[in-house]
Amino acid sequence: MKRKDCLFCKITNKEIPSKILFENELVLAFLDISPISKGHTIVIPKNHYSNLEDIPNYELTEVYKEVKNLATKIHKNLKIDGYNILQNNFAAAGQVIKHFHIHIIPRNYDDEKFRIKIPRTQAPEDELNEVYKILKF
C-alpha cells in the first residue's frame, strides 16, 4: 500500500534518499531533514495510512515498539535531558504529510525552541458533564 504522491512513501521506496536509522518489514525510522532539535526522528509504518484512525492496531504496535527503542537509544547516545513524542492527526492539528508518522523530538533543559505553553483553566461543571455524556462508553 503506497501512494505515488506521498513523500514518506517515496522515502520508504528509496526514491528519495534519507538518513535511515531503523528498518524492518513494517517500520521505517529516519532523521527529519528540518529538525526541531538535533536528532529529531520520524517513525512511520511502511504501508500508507493517513492517520491514527486508519492504521491497523498490529502495525501501530510495531511502530510504537520502535519509537520506544529509538527514543531510548537517542536519549542515551545523544545525552539529551528528555524527549517529546508527537503525533499530529488532520490538518487542524498540524498534520502536513498525510502518512501516519510519529516524531521523536529530543529536548534539553536549556532549549527554548520547542516550549509548549498551553494555557489551561478549570472547565465549568456543565461542560465536563456535556462532554462526558457524549464520550463515555
Nearer to Zn ion, 6 or 60 (CB): 6
Complex with Zn ion: residue 2 or 73, whichever CB lies closer: 2
Q: Is 99 a catalytic residue?
A: no
Closest among 45, 41, 69, 71 to 59, alpha carbons compared: 45
Contact between 107 and Zn ion (CB under 5 A)?
Answer: no
Q: Which three cell numbers stand for residue 20?
A: 535511515
Q: Which of 40, 48, 99, 101 is catalytic?
A: 101
- Which one, of 46, 39, 41, lies nearest residue 23 by Cα? 46
DSSP strands (E only) in 1-137: 20-23, 27-31, 41-45, 82-86, 102-107
The one among 46, 67, 71, 99 contacting Zn ion by CB under 5 A: 99
Does the protein bind Zn ion through residue 14 (CB under 5 A)? no
Q: Which residues are catalytic?
A: 101
Q: Interface residues with Zn ion (CB under 5 A)?
A: 3, 6, 8-9, 48, 99
